[in-house]
Amino acid sequence: MTADTRPLAGKVALVAGGTRGGGRGIAVELGSAGATVYVTGRSSSGAGRSDLDRPETIEDTAERITAAGGRGIAVRTDHSRPQEVRALVDRIAAEQDGRLDVLVDSVWGGDPLTDWEHPLWEQDVETGVRLLRQAVETHVITSRYALPLMIARGSGLVVEVTDGNTARYRGSFFYDLAKSAVIRLAFAQACELRPHGVAAVAITPGFLRSEAVLDHFGVTEATWRDGVAQDPHFAHSESPAYLGRAVAALAADPQIMAKSGRALATWGLYEEYGFTDADGTRPDFGAHWARSLEAEHGPLGDPL
């Protein structure tokens, strides 16, 4: 492979929350670009599943990273526990001579905690606050301990993975608050990191074909188009690889500081960087929304 196809060779990345979905897609594509990728989560072949009780594991993601051409290293970590995150970062520093080039905060796990049926005043407060801790506090803890490695080198990229990149309400109070807060985390980190040469961005996929979404439609990634009969908007969905390729392109961009502080989307980046989805297509959910959903649901909203 040439340097053009392995632009992240020699780079070190940490994908927090890389067990499945967008986090896994990012981790694998960073590996495909040549990076050494530490992938973390709570579902492990050795320590059992997380409370989501899904079959994907961090070891499986690490194997996919290595198979793609990188080096995958699985480290079971609960990112709500500062001591575990500190130990993780200490390990990276020791094994990589203090190097960390890319930090991806992709911890989520909030699907079973999201109440889509009730307004705030009818929701269970403890469940809602637990969602915020799982989806926001974990990102804060991870950045707190990982950022010093980047600051010491005077370079790096932080990627906060969210849902949506505008101020449009996302349909559930605590879900909306969590995803909006993650965008603000990227902006705040960008402001504090700019003097140190480190960039921070938020990024959203479109209609993401995560493992859970594929299961919902009763399809696989190979047969996903069979799900369009159930939901025509599914025809404009994208695989986790699309998000991963967007992040890999950002990580390889020597002018990334110009984007620091922005909330980005896969559909706003594919033309600039020239990447495609795994099947060679270039889904543009933003354009689809404008054509088919805006009349019923309103515009995506103003940028945050």
- State the catalytic residues: 175
CA nearest to 104, candidates 39, 31, 159 = 159
CA nearest to 74, candidates 142, 25, 30, 14 = 14
Chain centroid offset of residue 164 CA: 12
What does the chain come to in residues?
304
What are the DSSP calls for 174-211, one per residue?
Answer: HHHHHHHHHHHHHHHHHHHHGGGTEEEEEEE-SSB--H
Strand order in the sheet with 12-16: 71-76, 36-41, 12-16, 102-105, 156-161, 198-204, 263-265
Structure tokens at 211: 């493992």
User: What distance in Å separates the CA atoms of residue 3 and residue 283, rounded to the nearest whole number?
Assistant: 27
List all residues 6 or more positions away from 88 whose beta carbon is below 8 Å from its beta carbon: 14, 38, 40, 75, 77, 145
